[in-house]
Structure 1
Amino acid sequence: MTAATADQRLLLVHAHPDDETIGQGATMARYVAEGRGVTLVTCTAGEMGEILVPELEHLAADREDGLGEHRRGELADAMKTLGVTDHRFLGGFGTYRDSGMAWHEDGHAVGDPEVLAQHPNAFWNADLTDAADHLVAIIREVRPQVLVTYDQFGGYGHPDHIQAHRVAMYAAQLAAVPSYRHDLGEAWEIAKIYWGAMSESRMREGLRALRDAGDTTTFEGMDPDGPLPHFVTADTDLAAGVDATDFVDQKMDAMRAHATQITTDGPFFALSNNVGSQAWGVEFYRIAKGERGDLDDNGLETDLFAGL
């Protein structure tokens, strides 16, 4: 059985290697274990990412510019850990380049004008229809019932996350039109679309545990009782919480595979060490299309395929 031949099929669209594991790594591992099809589409190789391994700093974009190829290997290792066998780069590896980012004074990411000017194939520069067509072909081949991507702000404003959202949402519409691009396959409508989310209550609980443990540097500047960043979602806006705590170890091992981007003494592991598996074992979602199925006592779906 392949991802495309499983009875239930999930498609995830992410901007860079490591985004998928941080956001939905446990869900992916759980669904693979349950025999569901999981297909991951990554839009860029993350060429402009920060390099957290000193001996690999020579791969930086302003030196050898080899980070993308290295992260391609990290992603392959992470997917092997999660059990995901169907992974593609949008349009093929190297079609779209990481657009880079800078920080706005309001605390969210924005595009890097220098990178965008220097690299015409930066993902933010992509023609929306051209990029969407690459994904339309995948949607019509895999025929997923469920799609997961970012919200309209890309979680925290990164231009590639925002573009991935736009491409995914547009491609889902185009793929369902019977008269659109017959050469890309038979029309397919995705029944349910979700945007990945971070629960506000869980984030506050995690921050409180860190601060009570004397950790003031992890997620520095965030107050458990104060305003939280853009990527945190009010619990009232959540539609689903997938409990995949049995697969947290796989998720954490997959995060370790993204070694240039995630350190074991960084915030993700600090949160896990202080809060336990619940910090990353239940992954939350907002629903953007489709009808919700059965709900738990918290008013959440526990399965993205609920009702299908």
Structure 2
Amino acid sequence: MPGLLSFHAHPDDESITMGGTLAELADRGVPITVVTATRGEAGEIHNRPDAEKVRHRLGEIREAEERAALAVLGIEDLRYLGYHDSGMMGTAQNDHGASFWNADLMEAAGRLVRIIREVRPEVVTAYDPFGGYGHPDHIQVHRVGTAAFFGAADTGRFPRAAFGDPWLVGSLLWATWSRERATGVRRAMRGEAAAEIEDEAPTGFPSVFLSVRRDVVAYLGRKRRALLCHDTQFAAESWIRALPDDQIVDFLGHEVFIRVWGDLAVADPLGAL
């Protein structure tokens, strides 16, 4: 049965960007492999009074949270590329020797190529060129995911003996946000401070570029439960906990993608799985 390989940067990204789609496909029995580049070791720690005491094992905690979230969504196959979280752009974590941001592009792509050739999906998802909001690891998911999509069929760069038999994936989609929806949510959260948004880096892509749009309102309850499994990620005042239900529906109930490669006669490659 044709399946999906969904590539992400950190634990929680899978649920935020496309948790509704993952739940829908899992319910239909579609084979799904989630690949996460890092374990989110450099993130903030919320809802833990012992935050600094557990810092050294944050990756282990975040992995457990991601496995719990995927269980809510109905997914078992989770892989890690094994890189260290790079932190936000401009921080010292960018220079960590094992950070995903510092990874050699083709070496990292090769790790993902091996998985693609093993599971042989029909659709691969990565992120848009800006990684949604400019996080180094998200940008690297775009670069590595796109390179691996094409590299999976290239035995010249990724020989069969080292990386497995080649596989031509049918469709590549970049998961992103509607810039208009994201800006609306930020305005709602800021209230009187909304004017500050104009000076910030944009989130997502303008709607004109979004070629695959998915209504996942029917799966929003599970998507939100999956998100809340990532307890150390979301403070009490975070948007996922604080947004009113109508805005949650508007923002999280729609998942959007930029089609990069695939049969244009298929309007929704994910829905066709």
Aligned partner of 2:135 in structure 1 is: 158
C-alpha deviation, 1:55, in angstroms? 1.4
Equivalences for residues 64-213 of structure 1 within 5 A? 64-90=55-81, 95-101=82-88, 110-112=89-91, 114-117=92-95, 119-179=96-156, 180-183=158-161, 184-203=163-182, 206=185, 210=188
Task: Return the offset for 1:304.
Answer: 2.5
Question: Aligned partners of 2:22, 2:176: CA distance in 1, in Å?
Answer: 15
Aligned to 2:191: 216
Deviation string, structure 1 residues 231-276 (Cα, Å, up to 9, x no partner): 2321111001122211111110011100111245421343352425
Distance in 2 separating the partners of 1:13 and 1:59: 30
Distance 1:134 1:239 in 2: 29
Q: For 2:248 and 2:113, how far apart are their aligned partners in 1?
A: 39
Whole-angstrom CA distance in 2 between matches of 1:170 and 1:201: 29
Partner amino acid for 2:194?
Answer: G
Q: TM-score, normalised by structure 2?
A: 0.89
- Which residue of 241, 259, 273 corresponds with 1:287? 259
TM-superposition CA deviations, 1:93-144 (whole Å, max 9, x none): xx3111112xxxxxxxx242x3244x31111111222211111110001111
Checking the alignment, whether the CA contact within 8 Å between 2:178 and 2:206 is kept in structure 1 is: yes
Preserved contact between residue 96 and residue 122 of structure 1 (Cα < 8 Å): yes
For residue 222 of structure 1, report the CA deviation from its aligned partner. Answer: 5.9
Taking a change above 3 Å as real, the CA distance of residues 111 and 176 of structure 1, as seen in their structure-2 partners, is farther
- Superposition TM-score, scaled by structure 1 size: 0.80
* Preserved contact between residue 171 and residue 269 of structure 2 (Cα < 8 Å): no
Q: Percent of counterpart pairs with the same letter? A: 37
Q: Name the CA distance, whole Å, in 1 between partners of 2:101 and 2:248.
A: 37
The answer on whether the counterparts of 2:109 and 2:148 sit within 8 Å (CA) in structure 1 is: yes
Q: Distance in 2 between matches of 1:125 and 1:276?
A: 35
> Does the 8 A contact of 1:192 with 1:289 survive in 2?
yes
Question: Does 1:304 pair with 2:270?
Answer: yes
Q: 2:26 aligns with which of 16, 23, 32?
A: 32
Q: Which amino acid aligns with 1:75?
A: E
Residues 1:258 and 2:234 aligned together = no
Aligned to 2:14, the other structure's residue is in SS state: helix
The alignment yields a C-alpha RMSD, in angstroms, of: 2.4
- Which among 47, 53, 68 is matched to residue 47 of structure 2? 53
CA contact 1:271–1:279 (8 Å) conserved in 2: no
Give the stretch that moved more between structures: 197-206 or 35-44.
197-206
Provide Cα deviations, 1:156-192, integer angstroms capped at 9, x if missing partner.
Answer: 1111111121111111121111443212211111111
Q: Which runs of 5+ in 1 are unaligned?
A: 1-6, 102-109, 295-300
State the 1:65 CA deviation: 1.7
Q: Determine the C-alpha separation between the residues in 2 that align with 1:202 and 1:263.
A: 22
Cα distance in structure 2, aligned partners of 1:207 and 1:58: 30
Do 1:150 and 1:162's aligned partners in 2 also have CA atoms closer than 8 Å?
yes
**1:285–1:233 CA distance, 2 compared to 1 (3 A):** same
Q: Distance in 2 between matches of 1:169 and 1:141?
A: 17
CA shift in 2, pair 1:155/1:276, >3 Å: closer
Aligned residue among 13, 19, 29 for 2:13 = 19
Aligned-partner SS, 1:124: coil
Cα distance in 2 for residues equivalent to 1:285 and 1:56: 38
